């Protein structure tokens, strides 16, 4: 969907703003976390496996692209990612995921797009992200339990860089969400804690225990999900939990948006 951004001077509309293709993830239970008997790469931070109920929500079919983020930068004078030259998106990568964005950048983009469109865009929680990636049957990868390097952009691909956000349609999740394994890690709303190696917020996942408090100070790490082109297959598992400081943007990290629950 394309909206128009209002011009500050006279209230007219100056240039198009693209809204993401949003996919419904229906309310219901899903299996969250990993089970060692089923997943040889699982870590303590991903256990215990448990069943979680989520209300319905919508999640973007793909991560935010360079072209989409460029509209935000142009409209707001928000600082462009460090990898852009003179504030311009990389040549030939308009449909690649934007990278080198901090958690704060991602949050700012969501607020801006919400103001432009009237929709309440935000980052997904890590629970929402995992359900959108694996469905309700507890699969290890978005397409199933068997690793298949042809379905995603990870270290095994040998590409060594991002690819277009729709490049791996054969790696879609059960809901049709793309890019949930490989290409770029994605920011979530959820807090990890203050220690790099041991999360303050452990499983079972409980959204009422403070892990979704967005007023946390800058030093509290946020959860990232999904693996990346520089990372091997174990990081592309639907259960893999990593973390980063919210003011830290790197070339293997992007984001996608969510809406809801209503």
Q: In three state form, how does the secondary structure of 103-145 look?
A: HHHHHHHHHHHHHHHCCCCECCCHHHHHHHHHCCCCCCECCEC
pLDDT of residue 261: 81
pLDDT in tens, 82-111: 999 988 999 999 999 999 999 999 999 999
Domains and their CATH numbers in the chain: 2-259 (3.90.1580.10)
Has residue 1 got a pLDDT over 60? no
Q: Model's pTM, two decimal places?
A: 0.93
What is the percent of the chain where pLDDT is above 90?
89
* Top-confidence residue, 10 or 141: 141
pLDDT of residue 141: 98
pLDDT of residue 205: 97
Has residue 33 got a pLDDT over 80? yes
Has residue 11 got a pLDDT over 70? no
pLDDT of residue 9: 45
Q: What is the mean pLDDT of the chain?
A: 93
Give the pLDDT mean for 216-243: 96
Has residue 6 got a pLDDT over 70? no
Has residue 12 got a pLDDT over 70? no
pLDDT in tens, 165-186: 999 999 999 999 999 999 999 9
Q: How far is CA 125 from CA 36, 41, 139, 229, in A?
A: 24, 23, 19, 22
HSE-CB for 77 with a 13 A CA cutoff: 0
Per-residue pLDDT band for 46 (boundaries 50, 70, 90) equals: very high
Per-residue pLDDT band for 14 (boundaries 50, 70, 90) equals: low
Cα–Cα distance, 153 to 230 (Å, whole number): 9
Per-residue pLDDT band for 18 (boundaries 50, 70, 90) equals: confident
Cα–Cα distance, 72 to 86 (Å, whole number): 15
Query: 154: how many CB neighbours lie within 10 A of its CB?
Result: 23
Six-digit token pair at 174?
């059960």
pLDDT of residue 143: 98
């Amino acid at each position: 969907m394309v909206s128009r951004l209002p011009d500050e001077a006279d209230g007219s509309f100056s240039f198009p703003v693209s809204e993401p293709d949003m996919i419904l993830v229906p309310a219901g239970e899903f299996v969250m976390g990993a089970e060692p008997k089923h997943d040889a790469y699982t870590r303590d931070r991903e256990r215990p496996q448990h069943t979680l109920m989520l209300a319905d929500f919508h999640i973007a079919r793909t991560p935010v692209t360079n072209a989409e983020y460029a509209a935000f930068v142009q409209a707001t004078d928000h600082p462009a990612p460090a990898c852009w030259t003179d504030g311009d998106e990389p040549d030939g990568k308009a449909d690649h995921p934007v990278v080198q964005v901090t958690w704060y950048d991602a949050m700012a983009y969501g607020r801006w797009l919400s103001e432009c469109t009237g929709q309440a865009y935000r980052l997904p929680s890590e629970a929402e992200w995992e359900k959108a990636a694996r469905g309700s049957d507890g699969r290890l990868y978005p397409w199933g339990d068997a690793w298949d390097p042809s379905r995603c952009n990870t270290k095994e691909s040998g590409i060594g860089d991002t690819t277009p956000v729709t490049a791996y349609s054969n790696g879609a999740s059960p809901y049709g969400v793309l890019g949930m394994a490989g290409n770029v890690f994605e920011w979530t709303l959820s807090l990890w804690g203050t220690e790099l190696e041991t999360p303050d917020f452990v499983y079972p996942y409980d959204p009422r225990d403070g892990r979704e408090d967005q007023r946390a100070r800058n030093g509290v790490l946020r959860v990232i999900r999904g693996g990346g082109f520089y990372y091997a297959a174990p990081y592309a598992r639907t259960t893999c939990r990593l973390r980063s400081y919210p003011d830290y943007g790197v070339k293997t990290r992007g984001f996608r948006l969510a809406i809801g629950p209503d």
